[in-house]
Amino acid sequence: MSDSDLIEALKAIGHPLRLKILNALRGAERNVGEIEEVTEIGQPALSQQLAVLRKADLVETRKDAKLVYYRLSENQLNTIADVIDDLANRTRQSSPARRPAVPGAANFARMS
């Protein structure tokens, strides 16, 4: 996964409506009507948000007659989770070097 793909996926996940949709798809494949019912997101907004999730490869689709079913893209989500886990592990393994305060310069409180 390229950095730009990862950024787009994280942006997609970071939106409240899209996160609500992703949560509704946990462990279940649903059609648009079912997603609308579970999430209480109206049809126009739901279609827009599903398009963003499809573009970010966070959901997969299956068509059955006139119904389109959505499910989570487990491979994509696992890849994102691996990247985040790797970042978290690197942070735990290396402590940042503390720079000493410089006299006569503005020193700001460090948040940790």
- Cα dist. 12→8, 17, 48, 58 in Å? 6, 10, 12, 8
**What is the tens place of the pLDDT at every residue in 24-68?**
999 999 999 999 999 999 999 999 999 999 999 999 999 999 999
All domains of the chain in start order, with CATH: 3-87 (1.10.10.10)
pLDDT band per the 50, 70, 90 thresholds, residue 87: confident
Q: Tokens 């989500």 correspond to what residue?
A: 77
In this structure, what are the phi and psi dihedrals at residue 69, rounded to the nearest 5 degrees?
Answer: -100, 140
Q: pTM of the full predicted structure?
A: 0.76
pLDDT of residue 82: 93
- pLDDT-above-90 percentage for the chain: 71
